[in-house]
Amino acid sequence: MTIMDHVPMVNIMPMLMCTSLANPMGMGKPPPAQAPIACIPIPLAPWAPPVAPTKLVNKKPILLPGSTCVCQWGGVISITMPGAIQTQAQ
């Protein structure tokens, strides 16, 4: 991913880790009164450093662990599991 890959439902998929009171899915209840809630993140801007300025994809710096993106719901989206996961069908 690059710093410009911040489109909801394209680059950033829904997650089950939102605890923001501003997220309408949480109905204003703070954890632990609510279970972790589903979140469709709405990034407000491109990803922030750290990035790899010398490693580019389509002339844009790639993300590194620790890159963050601010969400409309008041949270911060971060890279927690960089790389790809390969699975095999059974």
Quickly count: other Cβ atoms within 10 Å of residue 83's Cβ.
7
How far is the C-alpha of 51 from the C-alpha of 59, rounded, in Å?
13
**Residue-level pLDDT, tens digit, the chain, 90 residues:** 899 999 998 988 887 777 777 777 766 665 555 566 677 889 999 998 877 778 889 988 888 888 999 999 888 888 776 665 566 666
Quickly count: other Cβ atoms within 10 Å of residue 44's Cβ.
11
How far is the C-alpha of 39 from the C-alpha of 37, rounded, in Å?
6
Give the containing element (helix H, strand E) for 52.
strand 51-57
**Domain layout of the chain by residue ranges:** 15-78
